[in-house]
Amino acid sequence: MSELKVYPVWDAGTRWFHWINALCVIALTFAGLAILNASSLDVPKTGKVILKTVHVWIGYVFVLNLLWRIAWAFLGNRYARWGAVLPGGKGYFQSVRSYVAAFRAGNPQQYLGHNPLGRLGVAALYLLITIQAITGLVLTGTDLFYPPFGHWIAQWVAAPNIAPETLAPYSPEMYDAAAYESMRSFRKPMGLVHLYGFYVLIGVVVIHVTAVIITELRESSNIISAMFTGRKIISGRPVDEDHSSRD
């Protein structure tokens, strides 16, 4: 039996991002579903504003956490860097074929960082959460006139003699009707992308969690606990081993 070795892999910045992002996605999902079903739940206008406000403030944490991860991909350890997280690079497709073949043969290759298929999943998740972040910030401005775009949206739709900074949600008497309709036309595709992006994101998250569980069982590794401790326990030689990183 191969000797078990412990490797420091996920640094603190990566682990904090992962769990904050997971909590934000869960919280945003519940708040978003409540907003989508506000009418059937007989939520009054004031309640809907509260739900949207909660959704927005959680969204700000979500966006700041994403910006942190983008920066950390240039500052973190070798497993946090873009080159180790996103698919691509010399020999990447060969590594995918090799990993799939070994997995099918019941002798999966061990990786300290993300395996080649995992990097595809991570890329999909980053793309989707970035889309959700950008469209969410735009919708925040159109719904509640919150930063970073709310100031310009308010100036766009404010009725004559109404100070843009005083605009309130669901107050049509404060809006210029033509400008408001124009703004809603601009908002509509953003809302659709945000809505369907949410459904796709939830699907990818389910696939991600399932893949992690399957990989943990097939490889007899500690993928899940490593995202808490930062350390992976590996038997045998990892494909992406850095000899300087071994305990």
Higher-confidence position of 200 and 221 = 200
Average pLDDT rounded to a whole number, residues 116-132: 94
5 DSSP β-pair partners:
234
Q: For residue 37, what pLDDT is reported?
A: 93
The C-alpha angle with vertex 222 and arms to 219 and 226, in degrees rounded to 5, equals 140
Could you please report the per-residue DSSP string of 112-176? SS--HHHHHHHHHHHHHHHHHHHHHHHHHHHHH--TTTHHHHHHHHBPTT--GGG--TT-GGGB-
| Residue 230 phi, psi dihedral angles, 5° rounding | 90, -5
In CATH, which of 1.20.1250.20, 3.50.50.60, 1.20.950.20, 3.40.50.720 is domain 7-238?
Answer: 1.20.950.20
List, for residues 49-99, the tens digit of each pLDDT value: 999 999 999 999 999 999 999 999 999 999 999 999 999 888 899 999 998
- The span from the CA of 241 to the CA of 204, in Å, is 28
List, for residues 21-51, the tens digit of each pLDDT value: 999 999 999 999 999 999 888 889 899 999 9
Task: Measure CA 157 to chain center.
Answer: 31
For 87, residues 6+ apart whose C-beta sits below 8 A from its C-beta are: 116, 119, 120, 123
